Protein backbone atom coordinates (compact mmCIF):
# COMPACT_ATOMS: atom_id res chain seq x y z
CA UNK A 1 0.00 0.00 0.00
CA UNK A 2 1.96 3.03 -1.17
CA UNK A 3 1.82 5.90 1.28
CA UNK A 4 0.59 3.88 4.24
CA UNK A 5 1.93 1.60 6.93
CA UNK A 6 1.09 -2.09 7.46
CA UNK A 7 1.15 -4.48 10.41
CA UNK A 8 3.21 -7.71 10.23
CA UNK A 9 1.16 -9.76 12.71
CA UNK A 10 -2.45 -10.18 13.78
CA UNK A 11 -1.57 -9.19 17.35
CA UNK A 12 0.05 -5.94 16.25
CA UNK A 13 -2.96 -5.10 14.07
CA UNK A 14 -5.39 -5.79 16.91
CA UNK A 15 -3.30 -3.88 19.44
CA UNK A 16 -3.13 -0.90 17.11
CA UNK A 17 -6.89 -1.08 16.53
CA UNK A 18 -7.49 -1.08 20.28
CA UNK A 19 -5.20 1.92 20.71
CA UNK A 20 -6.93 3.84 17.91
CA UNK A 21 -10.43 3.11 19.18
CA UNK A 22 -9.45 4.64 22.50
CA UNK A 23 -8.39 7.83 20.68
CA UNK A 24 -11.21 8.44 18.24
CA UNK A 25 -13.91 10.93 19.09
CA UNK A 26 -17.18 9.21 20.00
CA UNK A 27 -18.87 12.60 20.41
CA UNK A 28 -18.39 13.28 16.70
CA UNK A 29 -20.02 9.94 15.90
CA UNK A 30 -22.98 10.92 18.06
CA UNK A 31 -23.16 14.31 16.32
CA UNK A 32 -23.23 12.55 12.95
CA UNK A 33 -26.04 10.33 14.25
CA UNK A 34 -28.02 13.39 15.30
CA UNK A 35 -27.56 14.97 11.86
CA UNK A 36 -28.91 11.79 10.26
CA UNK A 37 -31.81 11.70 12.71
CA UNK A 38 -32.68 15.27 11.74
CA UNK A 39 -32.51 14.21 8.09
CA UNK A 40 -34.85 11.29 8.81
CA UNK A 41 -37.34 13.55 10.60
CA UNK A 42 -37.29 16.00 7.70
CA UNK A 43 -37.55 13.30 5.01
CA UNK A 44 -34.22 14.44 3.60
CA UNK A 45 -31.82 12.40 1.46
CA UNK A 46 -28.34 11.23 2.47
CA UNK A 47 -25.67 10.77 -0.22
CA UNK A 48 -22.55 8.77 0.66
CA UNK A 49 -19.40 8.43 -1.42
CA UNK A 50 -15.72 7.50 -1.49
CA UNK A 51 -13.05 5.84 -3.64
CA UNK A 52 -11.54 2.36 -3.58
CA UNK A 53 -12.18 0.64 -0.26
CA UNK A 54 -14.10 3.70 0.85
CA UNK A 55 -16.47 3.19 -2.09
CA UNK A 56 -17.49 -0.14 -0.58
CA UNK A 57 -17.73 1.46 2.85
CA UNK A 58 -20.13 4.00 1.34
CA UNK A 59 -22.31 1.18 -0.01
CA UNK A 60 -22.32 -0.51 3.38
CA UNK A 61 -23.23 2.75 5.14
CA UNK A 62 -26.17 3.28 2.78
CA UNK A 63 -27.44 -0.25 3.39
CA UNK A 64 -27.23 0.05 7.17
CA UNK A 65 -28.81 3.50 7.31
CA UNK A 66 -31.74 2.23 5.28
CA UNK A 67 -32.08 -1.32 6.66
CA UNK A 68 -30.40 -1.63 10.08
CA UNK A 69 -31.94 1.63 11.27
CA UNK A 70 -35.39 0.56 10.08
CA UNK A 71 -38.21 0.64 12.65
CA UNK A 72 -41.52 -1.11 11.86
CA UNK A 73 -44.21 1.29 10.72
CA UNK A 74 -41.80 4.21 10.36
CA UNK A 75 -40.34 5.76 7.19
CA UNK A 76 -36.87 4.61 6.22
CA UNK A 77 -33.98 7.03 5.87
CA UNK A 78 -33.45 7.77 2.18
CA UNK A 79 -29.75 6.92 2.04
CA UNK A 80 -27.94 6.36 -1.26
CA UNK A 81 -24.36 5.42 -2.12
CA UNK A 82 -23.21 7.39 -5.16
CA UNK A 83 -20.55 4.74 -5.77
CA UNK A 84 -23.23 2.17 -6.66
CA UNK A 85 -24.16 4.03 -9.85
CA UNK A 86 -21.41 2.76 -12.14
CA UNK A 87 -23.06 4.04 -15.32
CA UNK A 88 -23.14 7.58 -13.96
CA UNK A 89 -19.61 7.37 -12.56
CA UNK A 90 -18.07 6.04 -15.76
CA UNK A 91 -20.01 8.41 -18.01
CA UNK A 92 -19.03 11.47 -16.00
CA UNK A 93 -15.47 10.23 -15.54
CA UNK A 94 -15.05 9.50 -19.24
CA UNK A 95 -16.93 12.45 -20.73
CA UNK A 96 -16.24 15.19 -18.17
CA UNK A 97 -13.74 14.48 -15.39
CA UNK A 98 -13.25 11.88 -12.69
CA UNK A 99 -13.12 14.82 -10.28
CA UNK A 100 -16.85 15.36 -10.98
CA UNK A 101 -18.15 11.83 -10.45
CA UNK A 102 -19.72 12.72 -7.08
CA UNK A 103 -20.50 16.39 -7.61
CA UNK A 104 -22.43 15.67 -10.80
CA UNK A 105 -25.08 13.32 -9.30
CA UNK A 106 -25.34 15.56 -6.25
CA UNK A 107 -26.24 18.43 -8.57
CA UNK A 108 -28.99 16.26 -10.10
CA UNK A 109 -30.53 14.58 -7.04
CA UNK A 110 -29.81 16.68 -3.96
CA UNK A 111 -31.65 19.63 -2.45
CA UNK A 112 -30.70 22.12 0.28
CA UNK A 113 -31.09 20.41 3.64
CA UNK A 114 -29.89 17.03 2.39
CA UNK A 115 -26.73 15.41 3.78
CA UNK A 116 -23.47 14.51 2.04
CA UNK A 117 -21.17 11.93 3.66
CA UNK A 118 -17.63 11.77 2.25
CA UNK A 119 -15.28 8.94 3.18
CA UNK A 120 -11.57 9.30 2.36
CA UNK A 121 -8.53 7.91 4.17
CA UNK A 122 -6.28 10.70 2.93
CA UNK A 123 -8.96 13.37 3.13
CA UNK A 124 -7.66 14.75 -0.16
CA UNK A 125 -9.51 12.77 -2.84
CA UNK A 126 -10.20 15.49 -5.44
CA UNK A 127 -13.68 14.20 -6.34
CA UNK A 128 -14.73 13.99 -2.69
CA UNK A 129 -13.31 17.43 -1.92
CA UNK A 130 -15.07 18.97 -4.93
CA UNK A 131 -18.37 17.33 -4.01
CA UNK A 132 -18.16 18.53 -0.40
CA UNK A 133 -17.29 22.07 -1.43
CA UNK A 134 -20.29 22.09 -3.76
CA UNK A 135 -22.58 20.54 -1.13
CA UNK A 136 -21.66 23.17 1.45
CA UNK A 137 -22.33 25.96 -1.03
CA UNK A 138 -25.76 24.49 -1.79
CA UNK A 139 -26.95 24.36 1.81
CA UNK A 140 -26.32 20.68 2.46
CA UNK A 141 -24.92 19.37 5.73
CA UNK A 142 -21.56 17.67 5.25
CA UNK A 143 -20.13 14.77 7.26
CA UNK A 144 -16.55 13.70 6.54
CA UNK A 145 -14.58 10.64 7.61
CA UNK A 146 -10.81 10.89 7.28
CA UNK A 147 -7.48 9.34 8.24
CA UNK A 148 -3.80 10.33 7.98
CA UNK A 149 -3.71 14.08 8.83
CA UNK A 150 -7.28 14.70 7.66
CA UNK A 151 -6.49 16.58 4.47
CA UNK A 152 -8.91 19.10 3.00
CA UNK A 153 -11.99 17.13 4.02
CA UNK A 154 -11.23 17.51 7.71
CA UNK A 155 -12.09 21.20 7.43
CA UNK A 156 -14.99 20.80 5.00
CA UNK A 157 -17.19 18.70 7.28
CA UNK A 158 -19.79 20.19 9.57
CA UNK A 159 -18.80 17.10 11.52
CA UNK A 160 -15.52 15.29 10.90
CA UNK A 161 -14.70 11.83 12.22
CA UNK A 162 -10.94 11.50 12.08
CA UNK A 163 -8.76 8.40 12.52
CA UNK A 164 -5.21 9.62 13.27
CA UNK A 165 -3.28 6.84 11.54
CA UNK A 166 -1.65 6.01 8.22
CA UNK A 167 -2.71 2.35 7.95
CA UNK A 168 -5.47 2.13 5.34
CA UNK A 169 -6.86 -1.10 6.77
CA UNK A 170 -7.23 0.30 10.27
CA UNK A 171 -8.73 3.56 9.01
CA UNK A 172 -11.24 1.74 6.81
CA UNK A 173 -12.17 -0.68 9.61
CA UNK A 174 -12.99 2.21 11.92
CA UNK A 175 -14.86 4.12 9.21
CA UNK A 176 -16.99 1.01 8.70
CA UNK A 177 -17.55 0.73 12.44
CA UNK A 178 -18.73 4.33 12.57
CA UNK A 179 -21.35 3.40 9.98
CA UNK A 180 -22.60 0.64 12.27
CA UNK A 181 -22.54 3.00 15.25
CA UNK A 182 -24.59 5.72 13.58
CA UNK A 183 -27.08 3.26 12.06
CA UNK A 184 -27.77 1.67 15.44
CA UNK A 185 -27.88 5.05 17.13
CA UNK A 186 -30.34 6.31 14.53
CA UNK A 187 -32.60 3.33 15.11
CA UNK A 188 -32.70 4.01 18.84
CA UNK A 189 -33.49 7.68 18.26
CA UNK A 190 -36.39 6.70 16.01
CA UNK A 191 -37.61 4.17 18.58
CA UNK A 192 -37.53 6.83 21.29
CA UNK A 193 -40.11 8.88 19.38
CA UNK A 194 -42.68 6.07 19.16
CA UNK A 195 -45.41 6.06 21.86
CA UNK A 196 -45.25 3.13 24.30
CA UNK A 197 -48.73 1.93 23.32
CA UNK A 198 -47.68 1.68 19.70
CA UNK A 199 -44.61 -0.38 20.65
CA UNK A 200 -46.78 -2.67 22.79
CA UNK A 201 -48.84 -3.57 19.71
CA UNK A 202 -45.81 -5.00 17.88
**Domain ranges, ordered by start, for the chain:** 25-189
Per-residue pLDDT of the chain (202 residues; tens, 9 = 90+): 457 899 999 999 999 999 999 988 999 999 999 999 999 999 999 999 999 999 999 999 999 999 999 999 999 999 999 999 999 999 999 999 999 999 999 999 999 999 999 999 999 999 999 999 999 999 999 999 999 999 999 999 999 999 999 999 999 999 999 999 999 999 999 999 887 767 666 6
Q: What is the CA radius of gyration of the chain?
A: 17
- Is 0.85 topped by the overall pTM? yes
In the DSSP assignment, the letter for residue 25 is: -
Q: Which residues of 74-96 are buried (b: 16+ CB within 10 A; e: fewer)?
A: eeebbbbbbbbbeebbeebeeee
Query: Domain 25-189 is in which class?
Result: alpha beta
8 Å CB contact between 98 and 123? no
119 sits in which H/E element: strand 115-120
Amino acid sequence: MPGGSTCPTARQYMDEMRRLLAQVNDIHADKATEILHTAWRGDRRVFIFGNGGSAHTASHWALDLMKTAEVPGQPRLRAMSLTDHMGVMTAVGNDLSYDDVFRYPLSVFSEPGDVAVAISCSGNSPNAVKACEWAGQQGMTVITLTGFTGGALKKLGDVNFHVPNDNYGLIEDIHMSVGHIVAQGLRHRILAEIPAEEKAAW
